[in-house]
Structure 1
Amino acid sequence: MRDPNQRLVHLKLAFFAFIVATVGIALMVLGKYLSTQSMSGFISFLPISEVGGTLLVAGLVGIGLDLWIDGDRGVVIEKLVEKVMLRALAKLAPTLRDSVIQAFADNIDHLSVVATDEFLDRLARNALTLRLGDRTFAEDIYEDVRDMAIAATERWYDTKISMNLSPLPQGPGNETPPAFVLTARYEYRVRPATINRRFTAVSNMREYRAIMEEPGDTSVWYINPASGFDGSTREAFELVQFSVDGEDRPIRRNSRVSGQTYTASIGKDVVDNSELVTIAYTYRTILRRHGHMLHVDVEQPSKGLDVELEYGGCGIAEMRLIPFISSSKKVRNFEMPSTVPEKTVGIGFDGWVMPKSGVIAVWVLSTENPVSLTETGARGTVTVQERKHNVSNFG
């Protein structure tokens, strides 16, 4: 189909040729009329008929030529415009390319207009490949981090975990293995994505792993049956407090054969506001004394993590917190001096902690230490020997 502008130009040319031809005919008629009159003077010398004939021929020839070369003229003009555009783009292409890349790099709003998820994935992979120089390595790292971040329903900030370990009192005739009571308090800032928070304790490893793999609003604890406790009882696990911005929220408990679940309401209005709030909760659970290990994980991506564990009066000779955090940033370690009665260890980290990362606490009981604490002599010397021995055991 012919371009509307070309049609307009063609119409103007045809109309102009028609006007010229009409004027030529009119002059020829006028010349013929004057020749039939007996006129003298200047007007008799004017070649009116010849001019009219010339104009008539020019108009007719112009119309014919316009019709004949109309198709070729469009092709010629298109080729001419194409050549001009190609030359201009060849000169402007580097500048345009750099401008587009710079605009995308500086302003995320520009990129969001044209970017799809697939486009962003390719862009990130290519950028990381150029930075690392290894495509396979770059793609694996990007996909791993992307999947963890996208699966996360929330992002936590300034997460603080305070834990206290104390011996579990055993009454006469109690045949349960020696155990510790762990009281843990979590506090963090977050924009809540769910109305409710759920806390589940189970004694079935298969159920525990299934819940662990499901992203969402449920935290899960595994109560080892070897501890002599069942995950469905309050003695094994209990959520004792839950608050939003310092305001305590009611807690509902649902018990079943395989475990128990505590539900606390954050509130629909809090979720709809999408504002940062401080969520804090405290739970109590049981640990086997001879288990020698406690795993404290972070369920959502967290910016900043502080963990502190008190274990005085538990008969523990040595306690260590081992951070499992993959980052180039340094983890701060803290241990209360031996001259202080309180026994506390802690770690601090200012970067992002990804889900399933965290801290593992490991300990050695005083009764397991090869050097007897009741040995007479220079107690300070014995203590130093014990500490050296335990440090070597933990590597």
Structure 2
Amino acid sequence: MDVSVEWEYTTVPSSATRRFACVSDQDEYNELRQDVPATSTWFMAPRPGMDARRQESYELLELTVDGRPQPIRRSTRATGQTYSVDLDEDARSGKPVRIRQVFRTITPQWSHRLYFAVAQPTRGWSLHLDYTDTTIAEIQVSDTISPTPPALITRSPEAVPGKVIAVEASSWLLPRSGVAFTWATNDELPQTKQPESVASSREG
């Protein structure tokens, strides 16, 4: 299943370089997680069709700071790949900036869960998950961010062709909090679930 993620937030960068790693080794993943917020790590268990080293499996598409695109470098190794972004001088001024990062990845539909963690104190946080080209029928959101006011969850209308769900929090969020998406596919729904139009015609 192809998943596109757009992540936007306001923060004061604590390092001049941001890294986005996708790895298949659990020990390496645990080690890289200690390097937050400089490194964001995505774990991809080695399964058929899922190779953490391949650009088709995970790719950082864009990172902007206050709307300015930042150059992206990619490197690979035996257990995965890393995208490195050297932030420009204005981003390293010690003042709050608006960061937007977009990446895509793949995940088995039968895994039924994606989790995104907040790496550092963050304000004005939003996360958009696009699952248009999938067989996902229902998707639920749970979070541990506990902001005040509560996070706002919006879904694209059924009448539009795309399927996007967004989570937005305006207040400050603490590290290690996060959001989980869990889903059911079309063939997993109870057979008794039918569109209202079909049910109505049978009743008549």
Query: Could you say which TM-score interval applies, normalised by the shorter chain?
Result: 0.7 to 0.9
Q: Which residue number corresponds to residue 120 of structure 2?
A: 300
Match of 1:230 among 51, 56, 64: 51
Q: Aligned partners of 2:165 and 2:70: how far apart in 1?
A: 31
- Structure 1 runs of 4+ aligned residues shifted over 6 Å read none
Aligned counterpart, 1:358: 178
Residues 308, 249 of structure 1: alpha-carbon distance in 2 compared, 3 angstrom cutoff: closer
1:225 is displaced (CA, Å) by 1.2
1:24 maps to none
Mapping of residues 22-37 of structure 1, within 5 Å: none
3-state SS of 1:312 partner? coil
2:75 pairs with 1:254: yes
Which structure is higher in helix share? 1
Structure 1 partner of 2:97 = 277
Cα distance change of structure 1 residues 326 and 253 upon mapping to structure 2, 3 Å threshold: same
CA contact (8 A) 2:10 2:122 kept: no
**1:248-294 superposed Cα distances (whole Å, 9 cap, x missing partner):** 222111111011111111034641x3233332222111111111111
Bigger strand share: 2
Matched letter for residue 363 of structure 1: W
Name the counterpart of 1:379.
Answer: 198
Cα deviation code 1:84-140 (max 9, x no counterpart): xxxxxxxxxxxxxxxxxxxxxxxxxxxxxxxxxxxxxxxxxxxxxxxxxxxxxxxxx
Quick one: distance in 2 between partners of 1:356 and 1:376? 40
Task: Please give the secondary structure, in 2, of the residue aligned with 1:284.
Answer: strand
Seen in structure 2, the aligned counterparts of structure 1 residues 340 and 216 have a Cα distance that, compared at 3 Å, is closer
Q: CA 1:244/1:313 → structure 2, altered by over 3 Å: closer, same or farther?
A: closer
Call closer, same or farther: CA 1:341–1:203 in 2, change over 3 Å. same
SS at 2:35 equivalent:
coil
- The SS at the match of 1:213 is helix
Please report the TM-score for the alignment, with normalisation by the length of structure 2: 0.84
TM-score (normalizing by structure 1): 0.46
SS at match of 1:353: coil
User: How many angstroms does 1:377 deviate by?
Assistant: 9.1
Cα distance in 2 for residues equivalent to 1:325 and 1:227: 34
1:218 aligns with 2:39: yes
Tell me the CA shift for residue 381 of structure 1. Answer: 5.8
Contact 1:296–1:358 (Cα < 8 Å) also in 2: yes
Structure 1 residues 331 and 224: CA distance shift in structure 2, 3 A: same
Structure (1 or 2) with the larger CA radius of gyration = 1
Q: Is the 8 A contact 1:229 1:235 kept in 2?
A: no
Distance (Å, rounded) in 1 between the aligned partners of 2:55 and 2:183: 26
Partners of 1:347 and 1:296 in 2: CA distance:
11
Change (3 A) 1:215 1:310: closer
CA distance in 1, matches of 2:21, 2:14: 19
- Residues 1:348 and 2:165 are matched in the alignment: no
> What residue identity is the alignment partner of 1:262?
Y
Structure 2 gap segments, 5+ residues each:
none
**Structure 1 residues 244 and 326 mapped into 2: Cα distance closer, same or farther (>3 Å)?**
closer
Q: Aligned residue for 1:289?
A: 109
Residue of structure 2 aligned with 1:199, choices 20, 24, 35: 20
**Paired amino acid for 1:320:** Q
For residues 165-180 of structure 1, the aligned pairs below 5 Å read: 180=1
Measure how far apart 1:241 and its partner are.
1.9
Amino acid aligned to 2:108: R
How far is the alpha carbon of 1:295 from its aligned partner? Answer: 0.5
**2:146 paired with 1:326:** yes
How far 1:340 sits from its partner (Å)? Answer: 4.7
The percentage of counterpart residues that share the same residue type is: 31
One of 64, 68, 74 as aligned partner of 1:243: 64
Gaps of at least 5 residues in structure 1 are: 1-179, 383-395
Provide the C-alpha distance between the structure 2 equivalents of 1:320 and 1:298, rounded to a whole number of angstroms.
19
In the alignment, the residues of structure 1 paired with residue 18 and residue 84 of structure 2 have an alpha-carbon distance, to the nearest angstrom, of: 6
Judged with a 3 Å threshold, the aligned counterparts in structure 2 of structure 1 residues 306 and 277 are, in CA distance, closer, same or farther, namely: closer
Please tell me whether the aligned partners of residues 320 and 345 of structure 1 are also in contact (alpha carbons under 8 angstroms).
no
Higher relative contact order structure (alpha carbons within 8 Å, sequence separation ≥ 6): 2
- Number of matched pairs: 201
Instruction: State the alpha-carbon separation in 2 of the partners of residues 200 and 378 from structure 1.
Output: 47
Contact 1:196-1:267 within 8 A present in 2 as well: no
Summarize the alignment of residues 37-186 of structure 1 with structure 2, pairs less than 5 Å apart: 180-186=1-7
Over 3 Å counting, the alpha-carbon distance change for 1:381 and 1:323 in structure 2 is: farther
> Which string of whole-angstrom CA distances, capped at 9 and with x for unpartnered residues, describes residues 36-87 of structure 1?
xxxxxxxxxxxxxxxxxxxxxxxxxxxxxxxxxxxxxxxxxxxxxxxxxxxx
